[in-house]
Structure 1
Amino acid sequence: MKHLLGPDLGRRHFLLAGGATALAVTAAGCGSGTEPAGPTTEPGGPAGPATPRSGGRLRAVFAGGGTNETLDPHLSNLFVDAARAKALFDKLADAGADLAAVPRLAESWTPNETLDTWTVKLREAAFHNGLPVTARDVLHSYRRIADPARAFRAKASLEPIDLAASRALAPDTVEFRLKRPHAEFPDVLASFGAYIVPDGTEDFTTPVGTGPFTFVSFRPGTSLRLRRNPDHWEGAPHLDELEILTADEESARVNALLGGQADYAHELNPATARAHEGGGRIEIIRLRNSAMQGFVMKTDRAPFDDRRVRQAFFLIADRKELVDGALSGAGEIGNDLFGKGARYYAADLPQRTQDLERARALLREAGAEGLRVTLDTSPVAAGFLEAAGIFKEQAARAGVTVEVRAGNKDTYWKDILDGGVLASYRSGAMPIASHIAQRLLSTSTTNATHWRQPDFDDLYAQAQSTADPAARNALHGRMQRRLHDEGGFLVWGFADWIVATAPGVRGVAKEAPANTLDWARFDKVWLA
């Protein structure tokens, strides 16, 4: 099972086969590219003007997916897949910086009074072949994703839609019938991988989308070359060309940037960022709150079926020590809730801090003194092994023995979904309502904490049936207070996502968590 970050950042979260040589071979064939401009004294900073300029080719390097890569946007799993799909295609909506949906190919969306039918009006937009985007294209795309015979990642996100009953009211209007009220339905339109492709499309050898760049050539596991789409509905990109390269090793990506073979490098580790930050050779960009970091406790299994034990573990964690040690300080402390910075996040709840005396008292009350527990972890994600070791030492100071068990990174996410009692966990950014729907309801298919509470399910259903935003926010507050008090997610931190650019690159969004609209948004980038 591959994912983008965690279960959503997932397995070998971005580093697959290929190694450093893949980039070297690719870069050698890039002789026609525009090199980043050297430093200037023009307004806008030491490396160039703030006013966008047109022209040039930007080379962005990501960890790759090997020779089995495809340009089918519905098969996107890795960050490089998402970057390619975003360049070639559009969705009806995408996630803003606070994870709330913002319109893309959808010009507007309007619910009925009961929130179980939504009418989506499409904007005027054309595919790369000149044909207009229509309701038929939208319905084909969503029905393709939802096909039970296929394994498209966005399938679960589209589950609320009754696609058999949904219909085209006009060429530019789609009526989505839902299986139940869904006040957050625009989040469904923004789901990862829910790209719109032309009606009937199954072959993506030469992809035709609506994105800001058009296809030139593709070598799986090596490079994708694209050129500016002058007719993009949101305006033509500043760049003439975009090339997306792959290199699994972080050192290869950084060396390509330092050596002038790439202009943008994705996924740097904190130590690399510290070594180069402020040095003038490359610019380090930290995308805050991009990945939740924590542990999951199985709330239906001993010892964590006793909420006093869960509360004790909340109080055992020294969050700053975990962020400093497991993330090398590249992040912020968490408060046992998902979605810091997102809409509905309960920022008013008091920050939980380590309290070993209270933790011991809770364990005594629960009859769990001298507790021994196994913590499953894996090298599947950066910082997992380090966090497990740090937490083991913290737990020992509360009289708890934690045995760390490192599992198979290829099967880790599947193994911890139903196995064990305590495990390392991370997740990429998504709307809080989506996180609840996918991971915290009795029917959720990726419920790693086994949190199954009918009254909590009812609160979520009530929120989704509530049209008034203030009332819905209050219901989300009630759900989060409940989770903060007795849930199974011990969220100790939120990691920065780190990218780097050559000094002459401008327009890279600095306030966009990974997986949001402005992340890897190369149509807004230019070369100074």
Structure 2
Amino acid sequence: MTVPSPDPSRRRFLGATAGLGVLLGSGLLTACGGPDTGSAAGGAASGKPRRGGRIRLGIIDVNQNGDLDAHKPIGNGSIIRGFALYAKPWEWNAQMQPALTLAESAEISPDARTWTVRLKQGLEFHNGKTVTADDFVFSARRLTDPELASPYAGLLSYVDRDRIQKLDDRTVRFHFRNGMAFVPFPENFTNFGGIVPVDYDPRKPVGAGPYKLKEFTPGQRSLFTRFENYFRPGQPYADELEIIDFKDEQSRIAALQSGQIDLANGIAADQIRLLGSSDAVHTVVSRTNGWQGFELNLSKPPFDDEKVRTAFRLLVDRQDLVDRALSGQGRIANDLYSPQDPTFDTSLPQRPYDVARAKKLLREAGAKDLTVELVTGPDPTSESAALVFATQARKAGVTINVKKVDSATFDGPQRTDFTLSTGELLTESFLVTGLHLDAPGSNNNKTHFSDPRFTKLFNQALGEPDVAKRTPLVHEMQQIQYDKGGLIIWGFVNNVDAVAKRIGGVTAEHTQFPLWRFEKLWVAG
């Protein structure tokens, strides 16, 4: 079955999950939390959360056409605003696991061909209407409506939208197309925008999130007020949440330092030292499994030659890239994604940095003095990594010409035609990440990786809820990717957030979401 990927520009916003297979072993997914992890500089507001005040978040978003649609967000700002307005059956917890929120239970059938989800009792939308199974069904069908053309639609494309069953006022059963078995259903539902009422109008949005909309000016700012009947008792704490759009990092950091905003999410690592001298701001560093890398197009010369592919992997000085492109805020990777997945094969040897062997392989492939173009988008980390790699490759006589293009070009239809390009993803479990990248059916397979044995194993693993039985399948797939794949994943990236010391409730996680958990944040004074 073909499972389309979502809009490629969403790569940088997708989350990760760990341990889903463990939760599925009993067939029942129950509410889970887990301790917050990571590291943070001192100086955060302490004590008991207090109610009141306004929290001001500064985001980078150059899109003047941003919207508030739960299922068709335009740009980064629209996705972040969705965290204030909407609530989902599951959300990513601090450990990047799908934890139940609006749902009280979710049960997978023994054959993995259906999921039955039951909503909590007494849930309310912002307009006072009770959240019911009808709303859940409507939201899933709207999300997958071809006429809407949601960037999230690919996440649920395997759902048979004509067989979504309402079992009672709070319970919904999902079937999959063509009798397909599909284990990672909760992860994909965690990524979409939320449950909305059956009379939903995105121009006057109503959700069940922690804040209600008060004002919205696309490309400039949005203002939200506390939803008093939010499903988490006592939250959110602040009276108001303001999200302010900035066009560049320099102006946003200046606004943070001058006290015009309280929060800045996902700042560049090189800003940590600058903010370290501030008496009013501290940084929160979260260790994530989001990766940075290079994607080799295996359908084009020179990367249709396995020796050239191997040589390029050996030319990557991974620690140097972490030190220079990430300013040390990360750790080296081994060309494989989803290290947090319980099925991940930790026994594969770390790829060495070996210029001499790389030069030998290039000579054998007739690719001595090779020149290749490396395409990168506007992401500054990816651009920096591309330039660092170009200097590394010169040691083997390889010339890499870095070409920077805009987002429309980098994420457009031609993205799968690049011979060599930068890549990044905020990693999910192995199976879902594969659906975004290089598994059978992905329409975002920039590497054009295709292997018959891998395809057979992947389809088998999708229907295997038992993590112990799924593990050997994934191990064999990862060995194939390690030997024959087109991904050079050189590092995993830390997420760095900047927080005014008057704001409490921000804790380091294994996610990029600490500042987006708006219900937890509070103003100290």
TM-score, scaled relative to structure 2: 0.87
Between the aligned partners of 2:44 and 2:243, the Cα distance in structure 1 is 23
2-structure distance, mates of 1:166, 1:183: 17
Q: 1:459 to 1:519 in 2, by over 3 A?
A: farther
Q: Distance in 1 between matches of 2:7 and 2:445?
A: 17
| Aligned residue in 2 for 1:359 | 358
Q: Does the CA-based 8 Å contact 1:140-1:200 persist in structure 2?
A: no
Tell me the secondary structure at the aligned position of residue 211 of structure 1.
Answer: coil
3-state secondary structure, aligned to 1:246: strand
SS for the counterpart of 1:169 is strand
Alpha-carbon displacement from aligned partner over 1:287-314 (angstroms, at most 9, x marks no partner): 3236311110112222212222212211
Quick one: which amino acid aligns to residue 58 of structure 2?
Answer: V
Looking at structure 1, the residues matched to 462 and 408 of structure 2 have their Cα atoms a distance apart, in angstroms, of 36
Aligned residue number for residue 116 of structure 2: 119
Residue deviations 1:500-527 (CA, integer Å, cap 9, x gap): 111111111311422x5x5510110112
| Residue 473, structure 1, aligned to residue 471, structure 2 | yes
Q: How many Å separate the matches in 2 of 1:453 and 1:488? A: 12
302-311 vs 80-89, which moves further? 302-311
Structure-1 residue corresponding to 2:519 = 523
Which structure 2 residues correspond to residues 430-509 of structure 1 after superposition, within 5 A? Answer: 430-509=428-507
Q: Does 1:76 align with 2:70?
A: no
The aligned residue for residue 322 of structure 1 is 321
Residue-pair matches, total: 488
SS for the counterpart of 1:411 is helix
| Pair 1:356–1:113, CA change in 2 (3 A) | same
CA distance, structure 2, for counterparts of residue 404 and residue 68 of structure 1: 30
Query: How many angstroms apart in 2 are the aligned matches of 1:432 and 1:364?
Result: 35
SS in 2 for 1:417: helix
Deviation of 1:442 after TM superposition, in Å, equals 3.2
The amino acid that maps onto 2:361 is: L
Q: Tell me the secondary structure at the aligned position of residue 197 of structure 2.
A: coil
Instruction: Tell me how far 1:7 sits from its aligned partner.
Output: 5.3
Look up the match of 1:197. 196
Give, in angstroms, the shift of residue 278 of structure 1.
5.1
Residues 65 and 521 of structure 1, relative CA distance in 2, 3 Å threshold: same
Query: What does residue 61 of structure 2 align with?
Result: 64
Matched residue of 1:74: which SS?
Answer: coil
Q: State the one-letter code of the partner of 1:171.
A: D
Q: Which residue of 1 aligns with 2:237?
A: 238
SS of the residue 1:214 aligns to: strand
Deviation at 1:381, TM superposition (A): 1.0
* Percent of aligned positions that are identical: 32
> CA-to-partner distance for each residue in 1:161-186, whole Å, 9 max, x for gaps?
00101110111000101121011111
Q: Distance in 1 between matches of 2:243 and 2:473?
A: 43
Question: Which residue of 1 is the match for residue 184 of structure 2?
Answer: 184
CA distance in 2, matches of 1:438, 1:97: 22
Aligned partners of 1:271 and 1:328 also within 8 Å = yes
Is the 2:267–2:498 contact (alpha carbons within 8 Å) kept by the matching residues of 1?
yes
Q: Is the deviation greater in 399-408 or in 448-457?
A: 399-408
**Alpha-carbon offset, residue 69 of structure 1:** 1.9
The answer to whether structure 1 residue 110 and structure 2 residue 107 are counterparts is yes
Is the 2:66–2:74 Cα contact (8 Å) retained in structure 1?
Answer: no
**Cα pair 1:4 1:78 within 8 Å, conserved:** no
Match for residue 223 of structure 1 among 205, 221, 224:
221
How far, CA to CA, are the matches of 1:324 and 1:390 in structure 2? 10
**2:209·2:227 contact (CA, 8 Å) conserved in 1?**
yes
Separation (CA, whole Å) in 1 of partners of 2:105 and 2:236: 24
Match of 2:306?
Answer: 307
Measure how far apart 1:371 and its partner are: 4.9
Determine helix, strand or coil for the equivalent of 1:363: helix
Structure 2 residue 169 is the aligned partner of structure 1 residue 175: no
SS in 2 for 1:190: helix
CA distance in 1, matches of 2:287, 2:215: 33
SS of corresponding position for 1:374: strand
1:294 aligned residue: 293
CA drift at 1:100? 2.9
Cα contact 2:340–2:429 (8 A) shared by 1: no
> SS of the counterpart of 1:294?
strand
3-state secondary structure, aligned to 2:161: coil
Distance 2:432 2:341 in 1: 12
Q: Return the offset for 1:5.
A: 8.5
Match of 1:85 in 2: 82
Aligned residues of 2:287 and 2:495 also touching (Cα < 8 A):
yes
Q: How much does 1:65 deviate?
A: 4.5
1:150 aligns with 2:153: no
CA distance in 1, matches of 2:68, 2:413: 29
- The aligned counterpart of 1:270 is 269
| Matched position secondary structure for 2:295 | strand
Conserved in 2, the CA contact under 8 Å of 1:208 and 1:214? yes
Greater mean deviation of Cα atoms: 344-353 or 442-451: 344-353
TM-score normalised by structure 1 residue count: 0.87
| Deviation digits for residues 332-383 of structure 1 (CA, Å, limit 9, x no counterpart) | 2221112344554434432222011222333344x23405242332352113
Q: Aligned in 2, Cα 1:364/1:91: closer, same or farther, shift over 3 Å?
A: same
2-structure distance, mates of 1:242, 1:360: 56
The alignment partner of 1:75 has SS state of coil
- What is residue 394 of structure 2 aligned with on the other side? 396
Query: Paired residue for 1:18?
Result: none
Separation (CA, whole Å) in 2 of partners of 1:86 and 1:63: 16
**Contact kept in structure 2, 1:74 and 1:145, CA below 8 Å:** yes
Q: Which runs of 5+ in 2 are unaligned?
A: 1-5, 14-40
How far apart in 2 are the matches of 1:357 and 1:66? 46
What is the CA distance between 1:227 and its match in structure 2? 1.6
Q: Which moved more, 1:153-162 or 1:371-380?
A: 371-380
With over 3 angstroms needed to count, the CA separation of the structure-2 counterparts of 1:507 and 1:349, relative to structure 1, is farther
Q: 1:377 aligns with which of 375, 378, 382?
A: 375
Indicate which of 25, 28, 51 corresponds to 1:54.
51
Q: Is the 8 A contact 2:298 2:304 kept in 1?
A: yes
Aligned twin of 1:421: 419
CA contact (8 A) 1:376 1:424 kept: yes
- Name the CA shift for 1:63/1:369 in 2 (closer, same or farther; >3 Å): closer
- What residue number does 1:41 align with? none
Task: Give the superposition deviation at 1:220.
Answer: 1.9
1:250 matches 2:253: no
8 A contact 1:6–1:426 mirrored in 2? no
Q: Distance in 2 between matches of 1:429 and 1:280?
A: 34
Amino acid of the residue matched to residue 70 of structure 2?
P
CA displacement, residues 27-78 of structure 1 (integer Å, 9 cap, x when unaligned):
xxxxxxxxxxxxxxxxx97554332222211111111344422111212243
**Could you tell me which amino acid in structure 2 is paired with residue 115 of structure 1?**
A
The 1-side partners of 2:438 and 2:73 are apart by: 24
In 1, distance between residues paired with 2:294 and 2:284? 27
CA root-mean-square deviation: 2.3
Paired with 2:129 and 2:327, the residues of 1 have a C-alpha distance of 50
Preserved CA contact (<8 Å) 2:106 2:117:
yes
Structure 1 residues 49 and 409, CA, compared in 2 at 3 Å: closer, same or farther? Answer: closer
